[in-house]
């Protein structure tokens, strides 16, 4: 059995990695660079995680509560796994493209399910490494624990993702199952998932605050999580008090939950996949009045429908704008002085909070996956009497549409922060220019790293080379805004300089799209 599971797993992992790293056409040249990029990403994130752990640990240490750190990180990790896995269930466990092929092979359903769940486990384990290894080092530096801490923590880490994966899969399965009962599956999926996001972000908002609050909230959360999620308590007892029984129970419960879920999955696997892959067909169409529009409008509408057809696409690229809009509305009602704590911090917030606008804008980048998402249907646009410019513009226009509320949000934030008229106008202009930047940049990067042979939408939208490169390099662009603020000292010159830089980048990207982009379109 294990041999077959491993064989299935290797093929599926290769397919997912191929999608992520775009191995597809050019197996020789790019993988090395991209694997190096992935490794670089893990290292950078681990350094960030280590710094965060050290900071939180130091604060906790000042309040003699350092023992909270492992459980706190475990909670953060569990939330991360929960959030990311819920959206991956559809596409990984259910509704994956090669379902027919895999199911026709002489392998048992248990083996197929095991291989799919191991994929979920493998990718979540990267998160475990990024969060828990730096935590171990930071805790080691601050608390000087015995060797058993490292041993118990390392063993516990292996089993840590199991229960969050089970919970996320159950929630994801329920959402997918409920949505599959309706005609507008994706709309319901988006609504359910956004609801879940709001709940989790509302919960994690409690984590923000000043030092004493971090400790209080940290302790409160850990005690609350202990009562709600006893595994966190077991994990803390195991690694802090070297309680062998707690470790055994932690491992036992995690493994048992995983096996129970696998057994449950066996019962619904075929039924769920059938429901998701066949869709709803009513076969009762009657020809009525047909609407017509211009070719460009038709392309734009097609692109917009593509965006809203995938709940994963909407959630992954729309979360920035949702957060920004919610934040902007909240700013109207929240007193800045109360939020910041003291006038000096409030003044700092006034200068730096607009950077958050750019941060949310660069997260709103559907164009980075828009070329790859054409997938095997690419032949349609390529054989239609439309120019490459019309195709690109339709994709950019969808990005502009989705990100457009950011302009209004920027105006609201400017007003709520009490910025002057010039500063507010400047903030609005920077936001508009940033929207153009991220849309064009995402499209260009997707043209450099296209992938049309993807097996699952998940890998294109969430993990493809194009999306990862776009988002992480765009973060550097946001970083420049911060650097300008530090170097130039005040809002007006810093934002003016940033606006000029962004406009310059917009023009450069336009030129790249009409030259390199034109050539690339012919090659696709």
Partner 1 sequence: MLKIINLSKSYKSDRKAVDRLNLEVGNGDIFGFIGHNGAGKTTTIRSVVGVLDFEEGDVIIDGMSIKEDPVACKQKLAYIPDNPDLYEHLSGIAYLNFIGDIYQVGKSQRRELISKYADAFELTPNLGDSISSYSHGMKQKLAIISALIHKPRLLVLDEPFVGLDPKAAYTLKMIMSDLCKEGSAIFFSTHVLEVAEKLCNKIAIIKGGKLVACGTTEEVKGNSSLEDVFLELIETK
Binding residues (CB under 8 A) for partner 1: these are 278-287, 290-295, 297-299, 301-302, 305-306, 309-310, 375-377, 379-380, 382-387, 522-523
Closer residue to partner 1 in complex, CB, 207/386:
386
Question: Least CB distance from residue 314 to partner 1, whole Å?
Answer: 12
SS3 341: coil
Contact at 8 Å (CB) between 377 and 454?
Answer: no
What CA–CA distances, in Å, run from 137 to 53, 54, 77? 9, 9, 16
Question: Least CB distance from residue 370 to partner 1, whole Å?
Answer: 13
Question: Least CB distance from residue 286 to partner 1, whole Å?
Answer: 8
- Given its phi and psi angles, is residue 283 left (phi above 0), alpha (psi -120 to 50 degrees) or beta? left
Closer residue to partner 1 in complex, CB, 106/288:
288
- Asked whether the CA dihedral 249, 255, 258, 264 is positive or negative, the reply is negative
Other beta carbons within 10 Å of 54: 18
Closer residue to partner 1 in complex, CB, 9/461:
461
- Tokens representing residue 118 in the block: 């191991």
Closer residue to partner 1 in complex, CB, 338/383:
383
Contact at 8 Å (CB) between 419 and 487?
Answer: no
Question: Least CB distance from residue 20 to partner 1, whole Å?
Answer: 22
Contact at 8 Å (CB) between 143 and 242?
Answer: no
Question: Least CB distance from residue 34 to partner 1, whole Å?
Answer: 19
| Contact residues for 351 (Cβ-Cβ < 8 A; gap 6+) | 485, 490, 491
Closer residue to partner 1 in complex, CB, 58/186:
186
Question: Least CB distance from residue 99 to partner 1, whole Å?
Answer: 13
Helices (H), 63-108: 68-86, 89-92, 99-104
- Nearest Cα to 390, choosing from 302, 506, 512? 302
Question: Least CB distance from residue 367 to partner 1, whole Å?
Answer: 17
Question: Least CB distance from residue 376 to partner 1, whole Å?
Answer: 4
CA angle 57, 468, 321 (to 5 degrees): 80
Closer residue to partner 1 in complex, CB, 289/335:
289
Closer residue to partner 1 in complex, CB, 79/386:
386
Closer residue to partner 1 in complex, CB, 4/97:
97
Question: Least CB distance from residue 228 to partner 1, whole Å?
Answer: 39
User: How far does Cα 240 stand from its chain's mean position?
Assistant: 32
| Contact residues for 274 (Cβ-Cβ < 8 A; gap 6+) | none
Closer residue to partner 1 in complex, CB, 117/179:
179
Burial class (CB in 10 A: 0-12, 13-18, 19+), 444: buried
């Amino acid at each position: 059995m294990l041999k077959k599971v491993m064989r299935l797993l290797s093929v599926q992992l290769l397919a997912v990695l191929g999608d992520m790293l775009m191995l597809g056409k050019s197996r020789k040249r790019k993988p090395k660079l991209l694997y190096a990029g992935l490794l670089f990403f893990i290292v950078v994130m681990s350094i960030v995680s280590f710094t965060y752990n050290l900071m939180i640990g130091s604060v906790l240490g000042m309040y003699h509560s350092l023992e909270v750190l492992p459980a706190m990180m475990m909670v953060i990790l569990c939330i991360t796994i929960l959030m990311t896995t819920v959206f991956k269930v559809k596409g990984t466990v259910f509704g994956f493209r090669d379902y027919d092929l895999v199911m026709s092979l002489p392998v048992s359903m248990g083996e197929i399910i095991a291989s799919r769940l191991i994929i979920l486990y493998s990718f979540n384990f990267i998160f475990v490494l990024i969060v828990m290894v730096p935590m171990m080092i930071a805790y080691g530096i601050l608390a000087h624990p015995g060797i058993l801490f490292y041993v118990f923590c390392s063993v516990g880490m292996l089993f840590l993702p199991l229960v969050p994966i089970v919970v996320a899969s159950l929630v994801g399965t329920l959402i997918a199952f409920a949505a599959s009962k309706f005609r507008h599956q994706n709309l319901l999926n988006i609504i359910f998932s956004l609801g879940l996001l709001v709940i989790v972000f509302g919960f994690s908002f409690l984590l923000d605050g000043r030092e004493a609050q971090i400790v209080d909230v940290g302790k409160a959360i850990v005690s609350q999580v202990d009562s709600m999620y006893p595994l966190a308590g077991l994990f803390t007892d195991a690694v802090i008090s070297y309680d062998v029984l707690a470790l055994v129970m932690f491992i036992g419960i995690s493994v048992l939950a995983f096996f129970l879920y696998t057994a449950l999955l066996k019962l619904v696997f075929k039924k769920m996949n059938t429901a998701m892959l066949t869709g709803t067909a009513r076969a009762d169409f009657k020809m009525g009045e047909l609407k017509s529009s211009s070719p460009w409008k038709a392309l734009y509408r097609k692109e917009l429908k593509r965006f809203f057809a995938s709940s994963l696409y909407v959630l992954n690229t729309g979360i920035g704008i949702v957060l920004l809009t919610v934040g902007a509305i909240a700013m109207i009602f929240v007193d800045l002085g109360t939020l910041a704590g003291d006038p000096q911090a409030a003044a700092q917030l006034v200068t730096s909070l607009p950077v958050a606008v750019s941060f949310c804008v660069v997260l709103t980048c559907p164009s980075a996956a828009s070329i790859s998402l054409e997938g095997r249907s690419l032949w349609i646009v390529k054989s239609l009497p439309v120019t490459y410019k019309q195709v690109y513009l339709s994709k950019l226009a969808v990005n502009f549409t989705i990100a457009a509320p950011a302009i209004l949000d920027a105006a609201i934030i400017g007003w709520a922060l009490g910025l002057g008229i010039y500063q507010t106008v400047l903030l609005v202009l920077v936001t508009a220019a940033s929207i153009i930047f991220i849309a064009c940049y995402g499209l260009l990067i997707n043209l450099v790293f296209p992938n049309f042979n993807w097996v699952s939408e998940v890998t294109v939208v969430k993990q493809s080379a194009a999306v990862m490169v776009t988002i992480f390099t765009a973060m550097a662009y946001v970083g420049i805004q911060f650097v300008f603020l530090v170097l130039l000292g005040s809002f007006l010159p810093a934002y003016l300089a940033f606006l000029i830089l962004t406009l310059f980048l917009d023009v450069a990207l336009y030129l790249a799209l009409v030259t390199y982009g034109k050539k690339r379109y012919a090659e696709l």
